[in-house]
Amino acid sequence: MCGIVGYVGSQQAAPLLLEGLTRLEHRGYDSAGIGVLSGSGLKVAKRAGRVRDLAAALPARFAGRVGIGHTRWATHGPPTDANAHPQVDAAGRVAVVHNGIIDNAAALRRRLSDEGVQLASDTDTEVIAHLVARSVAATLEERVAAALALVEGTYGLAIVHADFPDRIVVARNGSPLLIGVGDKEMYVASDLAALVRYTTTVAHLQDGEMATVTAAGFTTYRQDLTATVTPAEELDIDPGAYDVGEHASFMHKEMLEQPDSAEHVLRGRLDDRFGTAHLGGLGLDARETREVRRVKVLGCGSAYYVGEMGASLIEELARVPADAEAASEFRYRNPVIDPDTLYVAVSQSGETADTLLAVQEIRRKGGRVVGLVNVVGSAIARECDGGIYLHAGPEVAVASTKALTNMFLGFALLALQLGRVRDLSIADGHRLIAGLRALPAQIGEVLKREEELRPLAERLAAAESLFFVGRVRGYPVAREGAQKFKEISYRHAEAYPTSELKHGPLALVSPAVPTVAIVPDDELVERNVGALHEIAARGGPLVVVTHAGVDLGEVAERPDVHRIDVPASERELDPILLTIPLQLLAYQAAVHLGHDVDKPRNLAKSVTVE
């Protein structure tokens, strides 16, 4: 969601801050601002709108070698210049940028107002600037710690003070924050994307930790100012992975990277000798794996829908009960945590607040939880008992494509390992391994049909509302397809089990409401084809995502019925191949409508607040 950057060194801060903010635009935001320290004090510039609007409005003389910047995704108050960050105190000496939510902000605002402070914004963040400014402690570190002692909520914070012009003080509680190490210069960011052009040596702050960052280095400590040890590490990341290159958008680039990223997640994890998977990161031996009696998958948005695909895979191959649940709802229903259940948390960023809180609830109650995450060192990865890294590489576009595909493959590996310690035969293990090895090339085959699908996507873009339907393995595919279409094309798209059409949705089927139907060549193909005839009989246009051998009957002759064939895989693995054309349709529809596919309105890549 919101993005933080900071710089301390010998260069002018403003250009570096603007560059960093531009690289954080994918996180979602509605205003931007920077603040720099110089010999003349603190200077702040901020604007509602895009980073380019801020850059255009920046004064010609905006010098300073210490600074912080922010892109804001509005929570408290609308996106206005006044509500943009940095937030400052009344004297203009303290500037604060903040990701997260201060839960007791209303009470703190009342307290400050009662003490005569004139609040200039609607934000929760402003209270921190005033609390730091009103502290009489000797050091900036003590002033920030005293302010945070009064604060309840989540935060990633970067704070500068005109009286301490050589440093930035940062703090983390529930919202990610990184420190980048350069040559006699240092960086701060909420996302590695803001740093990789300058350094890939980073330190990850832990929850409850603070740090002082100067040009000479950084020190870390707890809120009581007792020292901690947080080493910096060199990350094996190609900075070019964060550049869009020759592609029109990051989403387009990331879709086309799926064959390669799929190979990466499978590499070294397939065991031909025993027909199983090697997942040493789970921390489960064969005996512990056999003791698992149930699997519960937790995720949000697309991670939730691919979690449904994964739960189905696990139940089918391992024959243990498995289901998926929205992590955002999980802990609020006071769930029963079963010691025989393996909980699986799914998140591309590894920082999704709802999923992280669910993980913490499980661990608090003694449950075992493993993670499927894409970002090494992320909060969820650190909190879990073990996990499977997705190795998808950086994913910048808000709409997940290659990370989602690798999540599915991670679940396939998990299901294979769980199944082989139970009743899944070695022959079935070998069959699935062959299917997994074939998937990257098959994904590539589907992606080559991009231009062929463009006219169909443009027809769907003309509709104000669409249905996506599928059964059993196909239903989570339909849910993910509807998610992709609505989040980047802004068309209303709703998913239903095909079997539920007669129980309500059929009332809305008409020539104005197309249906995208998932019809794999499986044991339910006849029932699925029957449902297509019901839709066609009501005049509903159809897009059928299916396999080459499926006979759609006379419905295939209708001019408003369009067919997309995907390569056939093993039946258990079909869902991911059926998903790929839905990504292409959503992308082409959004492009046709003139939308920014990488930064859909009101959405963010990494949702770090509840």
Beta bridge partners of 561: 542
pLDDT tens per residue across span 517-558 = 999 999 999 998 888 899 988 888 999 999 998 999 888 888
At residue 507, the pLDDT reads 87
Band (pLDDT 50/70/90 cuts) for residue 39 is confident
At residue 557, the pLDDT reads 86
Let me know if 2 is a catalytic residue.
yes
So where are the chain's domains? 3-239, 250-448, 456-592
208 and 360 in contact (C-beta within 8 Å)? no
Q: How far is CA 453 from CA 304, 444, 475, 481, 587, in A?
A: 27, 15, 22, 15, 10
pLDDT tens per residue across span 236-275 = 777 777 888 889 999 999 999 999 999 999 999 999 999 9
Give the percent of the chain with pLDDT over 70: 98
Fold of 3-239: Glutamine Phosphoribosylpyrophosphate, subunit 1, domain 1 (3.60.20)
At residue 566, the pLDDT reads 96
pLDDT tens per residue across span 205-225 = 988 999 999 999 999 999 999
Question: From CA 329, how far away is CA 339, in angstroms rounded?
Answer: 20
At residue 17, the pLDDT reads 94
Say if residue 375's pLDDT is above 90. no
Say if residue 608's pLDDT is above 60. no
Contacts of 339 (CB under 8 A, 6+ apart): 366, 367, 368
Let me know if 184 is a catalytic residue.
no
At residue 604, the pLDDT reads 65
Average pLDDT value for residue range 502-518? 90
Consecutive H or E run containing 153: none
Dihedral, CA atoms, 118, 129, 124, 610, nearest 10 degrees? 180
Say if residue 603's pLDDT is above 80. no
Q: Which of 71-80, 84-93, 157-166 is the least confident region? A: 71-80
- From 2, 384, 484, 486, the catalytic residue: 2
For domain 250-448, give the CATH superfamily. Glucose-6-phosphate isomerase like protein; domain 1 (3.40.50.10490)
> Could you give phi then psi for residue 227, rounded to 5 degrees?
-70, 145
Question: From CA 578, how far away is CA 30, in angstroms rounded?
Answer: 35
- From 43, 253, 599, 605, the catalytic residue: 605
Query: How many other CB atoms sit within 10 Å of the CB of residue 414?
Result: 27
pTM of the model: 0.85
Nearest one of 595, 597, 564 to 454, comparing CA atoms = 564
What's the longest Cα–Cα distance across the chain?
Answer: 82
Is CATH 3.40.50.10490 what the domain over 456-592 is classified as, yes or no?
yes
> Could you give phi then psi for residue 542, rounded to 5 degrees?
-130, 140
Band (pLDDT 50/70/90 cuts) for residue 609 is low
Query: How many other CB atoms sit within 10 Å of the CB of residue 464?
Result: 8
Question: From CA 131, how far away is CA 147, in angstroms rounded?
Answer: 5
Domain pair 250-448 / 456-592, same fold: yes
Beta bridge partners of 588: none
pLDDT tens per residue across span 99-148 = 988 999 999 999 999 999 999 999 999 999 999 999 999 999 999 999 99
Say if residue 382's pLDDT is above 90. no
Average pLDDT, the chain: 92
Q: How far is CA 151 from CA 129, 145, 375, in A?
A: 12, 10, 29
Consecutive H or E run containing 158: strand 155-161
> Could you give phi then psi for residue 545, rounded to 5 degrees?
-95, 115
Average pLDDT value for residue range 10-39? 88
* b (16+ CB within 10 A) / e for 349-372: bbbbbbbbbbbbbbbeeebbbbbb
At residue 610, the pLDDT reads 58
Rg value, the chain, Cα:
26
At residue 176, the pLDDT reads 85
At residue 352, the pLDDT reads 87
At residue 602, the pLDDT reads 77
- Start-to-end Cα distance in the chain: 11
152 and 174 in contact (C-beta within 8 Å)? no
